[in-house]
Chain A
């Protein structure tokens, strides 16, 4: 069974703090993704990575950065958290095969005060 884990289920931070969200997958997947999920807006892609140290911007990268130093781990970084980044953050991974499925983690609900 594919397992995608995220470091925290709930996180509360203050405006201006640097925030790290961690995602780990155990299936040797090449591709990893970070989304944010907001009511009425669905899922929006922030960044994705198709290999170690490789990254590409998604649809809403502003205010975020990512790091992928190891194949199994993909980190999302909020350099200076703001209240409009309060959201549910979902990590996903998939094999390098366009017919494959994205497997999602449980999500991290981040609140920025």
Chain B
């Protein structure tokens, strides 16, 4: 079974600091990759996704992620975080041909202090 690992359970940053959240997956074939975000009290929503093409994908609110196939990684980055980025972030993988099932990581809680 495929698995998704998120390296950090809780990350605490000050505003304007740079962010990188790690995500590694175990599946060796073709994958679709996602980052979802859950702001306090809100629905889980898509931040960005990768299916093919340019391995550097840009999402909403200044986030980006880079797919590195050789490292089975899809790390999320933002050059300068804001207090409003405080949320829980989930990496997810869809191995395709499996009725679009997603396997999620355990999540990383990001706290940004003003």
Contact residues of A with B, CB < 8 Å?
A: 4, 31, 33, 35, 40-45, 48, 50, 56, 58-59, 90, 92, 94, 98-102, 104-107
Contact across chains for B43 and A31 when beta carbons are under 8 A apart: no
Q: Which of A40, A48, A90, A99 contacts B44 (CB 8 A)?
A: A90
Which residues 4-35 in B have Cβ within 8 Å of A in the complex? 6, 9, 32, 34
Tell me the bound Cα distance from A35 to B103 in angstroms.
Answer: 11
Q: How many residues of B contact A (CB 8 A)?
A: 27
Tell me the bound Cα distance from A43 to B34 in angstroms.
Answer: 13
Residue among B34, B97, B101 with the highest chain A CB neighbour number at 10 A = B101
Contact across chains for A41 and B106 when beta carbons are under 8 A apart: yes
Q: Which of A31, A35, A42, A50 contacts B105 (CB 8 A)?
A: A42
Tell me the bound Cα distance from A43 to B1 in angstroms.
Answer: 15
- Kindly list chain B residues whose C-beta atoms are within 8 Å of the C-beta of A42: 6, 90, 104-107
8 smallest beta-carbon distances between A and B, as pairs: A42-B106, A43-B104, A104-B44, A42-B104, A101-B46, A42-B107, A104-B43, A50-B99
Which residues 75-112 in B have Cβ within 8 Å of A in the complex? 90, 92, 94, 96-97, 99-107
Q: Which of A41, A48, A101, A104 contacts B101 (CB 8 A)?
A: A48
Chain A nearest Cβ from B113, distance in angstroms: 21
Contact across chains for B45 and A104 when beta carbons are under 8 A apart: yes
Contact across chains for A102 and B102 when beta carbons are under 8 A apart: yes
Contact across chains for B99 and A40 when beta carbons are under 8 A apart: no
Contact residues of B with A, CB < 8 Å?
A: 1, 6, 9, 32, 34, 36, 42-46, 49, 51, 90, 92, 94, 96-97, 99-107
**A40-B106, A94-B100, A99-B32 as given contacts; A105 in contact with B43, CB under 8 Å:** yes
Tell me the bound Cα distance from A33 to B45 in angstroms.
Answer: 15
Chain A nearest Cβ from B36, distance in angstroms: 8
- Kindly list chain A residues whose C-beta atoms are within 8 Å of the C-beta of B6: 42
A42-B90, A42-B104 known, 15 other contacts, Cβ within 8 Å: A40-B107, A42-B105, A42-B107, A43-B102, A44-B104, A48-B99, A56-B99, A59-B1, A59-B103, A98-B94, A98-B97, A101-B34, A104-B36, A106-B43, A107-B43
